[in-house]
Amino acid sequence: MDIQTLTFIIVGLTFALYIGIAIWSRAGSTNDFYVASGGVNPIANGMATAADWMSAASFISMAGIVAFAGYDGSVYLMGWTGGYVLLAMCLAPYLRKFGKFTVPDFIGDRYYSQTARTIAVICAILICFTYIAGQMRGVGVVFSRFLEVDIATGVIIGAIIVFFYTVLGGMKGITYTQVAQYIVLMFAYVVPAVFISLLMTDHILPQTGFGATIAQDVPGGGNYLLDRLDGLSQELGFAAYTEGVRSKVDVFFITAALMVGTAGLPHVIVRFFTVPKVRDARRSAFWALTFISIVYLTAPAIAAFAKVNMFNTINGPELTGVEYENAPSWIKNWEKTGLITWEDKNDDGKMFYSGDERNEMTIDRDIMVLANPEIADLPAWVVALVAAGGVAAALSTSAGLLLVISTSVSHDLLKRNLAPNITDKQELLYARLAAAVAIFISVYFGIYPPGFVAQVVAFAFGLAAASFFPAIIMGVFHKRMNRAGAVAGMVVGILFTFCYIVYFKFVAPELNTPDNWLFGISPEGIGTLGMIINFVVAVIVHKFTGDAPEHIQELVESIRYPKGSGEAQSH
């Protein structure tokens, strides 16, 4: 059976599974829609959290960026993994004990201000739309290759599926759908890595194959994989794979932005309210980190295997180029999507990929994980499995983000602010309408994204770092911080970060070079500086406007002690 048919079967079966789960677990109340009635088992919640967390950026783009950037790409691994630990250990239990299941709700009540709540809603929507653009782009990339449609059509198909089970099932439907999606994406990520590790290094574990010698029957056999990759990279005009070209300052700022941005992501934080107790929130965090590590510890190996195989199949074992007529099928398959192009500059009929003037290929880094099984000539069913995994990763996070957007509008903006007298049914209706509007906007950004998947997502983390993280941290650990300080910090932090990103990415992209960056910090890392500015502004304004009221200080003091917790509150 060919790849196309298998892909239709496997992806179709997973879609049927997701929709079936959504129908089975459809939401009947706002409590179901927002937090699955707080009754999810910690292991299932950990698996759902992992799926929510491992978006298209993790599944599709992370190994791709590591493959192309080498050592510099490790900032994504370090930042995202470290950030989840920070969230799980320092924030999630306290927020769960506070009992408010959205970040704007926490900020509005902690800082006793509807203005603070409204600003938090705006920040949440901005962050989620930035993030969801990357997910929709990921869906489009998968469908454009494996369903042989253009990226725009792929984005629309994915949007219809995710909209159906988000609007029907809410958090209850999303949670159990994400459990299934995690299983699909985990197998889709690990199985090809095991196959390729065995073929290239005779090691069954990709993590050990990554540091092993190449098998004798493979080009470069007998050499260590990373030594071979360094040599190939330098010979073809790229920087050595294991050496970085980014400045240490920029590496630090990007890693920190990804870490603290993780701790401020609203669609991850809400996950800790779907379990019954604070203790279960901690257990969920443990299980989520366990499930996440299975994929994240495999990513560096996948990146290295893919890069070596790509060099070998495009340039040939002797690095003299391969005749285009004899090009492997994966190149011509991906050419149809426009994500790989070849221009025969020297009219020799051969393809050549390099980092200098000899280069004749343009390769989108978002294809690396999806193309990896084809590059390694693995069985067709493995290729189809990877397609299903890519779709699962993108859809799982898109659903979580859509839910946050709809909740921010219906609950935080309407019920808690502009229209407090609406009924439970009306609130549920507005949540679903908000999700419908959000899906249309996300489709547009998925078709016209402001960068590749991981980069777009990095911007979302930067915005979260500059806005939510300081407000949450001070809300939990600085009991005297008042509303004026928190509001001023959030506004200045997110405005500075947003304007910096927009300037270098849209207004003057030709100036997006280290020489023009502020303190040598790239747009991907500027969220860390925005966070620092947020803290400084908040502290200064607090000094001039006095402490928070006594009852707020007592409230903050009470959530620091892990002694029980009520149910997550929707009102």
At 515-570, the pLDDT tens digits run 899 998 988 889 999 999 999 999 999 999 989 999 888 888 887 765 544 454 54
218 within 8 A of 199, measured Cβ to Cβ = yes
Q: pLDDT band at 239, cuts 50/70/90?
A: confident
Q: For the chain, give the percent of residues with pLDDT over 90.
A: 9
The pLDDT of residue 449 is 67
Q: Which amino acid is at 117?
A: R
**List of residues 6+ apart from 70 with CB closer than 8 A:** 233, 238, 239, 240, 241, 242, 243, 244
Residues 1 and 475: their CA atoms lie apart, in Å, by 57
- pLDDT, tens digit (0-9, with 9 covering 90-100), for 49-58: 887 777 666 7
Q: pLDDT band at 571, cuts 50/70/90?
A: very low
Residues 286 and 46: their CA atoms lie apart, in Å, by 7
**Residue 325, Cβ density class (10 Å: 0-12 exposed, 13-18 middle, ≥19 buried):** exposed
- pLDDT, tens digit (0-9, with 9 covering 90-100), for 141-181: 777 766 677 778 888 887 887 777 666 656 666 777 788 88
Query: Lowest mean pLDDT: which of 31-45, 143-157, 234-248?
Result: 31-45
- pLDDT, tens digit (0-9, with 9 covering 90-100), for 407-418: 777 777 777 777
Q: What are the distances in angstroms from CA 430 to CA 48, 108, 408, 410, 440?
A: 25, 20, 11, 5, 16
Round the average pLDDT of the chain to a whole number and report it: 80
**Residue 562, Cβ density class (10 Å: 0-12 exposed, 13-18 middle, ≥19 buried):** middle
Residue 551 CB neighbours (<10 A): 9
Residue 290 CB neighbours (<10 A): 13
The pLDDT of residue 172 is 66
Nearest to 454 by CA among 184, 76, 169: 76
559 within 8 A of 97, measured Cβ to Cβ = yes
50 within 8 A of 292, measured Cβ to Cβ = yes
Domain extents in the chain: 3-244+258-560
Residue 464 CB neighbours (<10 A): 34
3-244+258-560 CATH pick, 2.40.10.10, 1.20.1730.10, 3.40.50.300, 2.40.30.10: 1.20.1730.10
What is the SS3 string spanning 323-373?
EHHHCCHHHHHHHCCCCEEECCCCCCCEECCCCCCCCCEEECHHHHHHHHH
The pLDDT of residue 60 is 74
Residues 158 and 149: their CA atoms lie apart, in Å, by 12
User: Rounded to the nearest 5°, which phi and psi values hold at 172?
Assistant: -65, -50
- pLDDT, tens digit (0-9, with 9 covering 90-100), for 291-332: 888 888 888 888 888 888 888 888 887 888 888 888 888 888
pLDDT top residue among 345 and 420: 345
Tokens of 459: 């911007």
The pLDDT of residue 534 is 95
Q: pLDDT band at 33, cuts 50/70/90?
A: low
Tokens of 153: 């059509």
Q: Is the pLDDT of residue 484 over 60?
A: yes
The pLDDT of residue 28 is 56
Q: What is the pTM of this model?
A: 0.77
Query: Lowest mean pLDDT: which of 119-128, 133-142, 256-265, 530-539?
Result: 133-142
- pLDDT, tens digit (0-9, with 9 covering 90-100), for 333-365: 888 877 888 888 888 888 898 888 888 888 877
The pLDDT of residue 540 is 96
Residues 371 and 541: their CA atoms lie apart, in Å, by 52
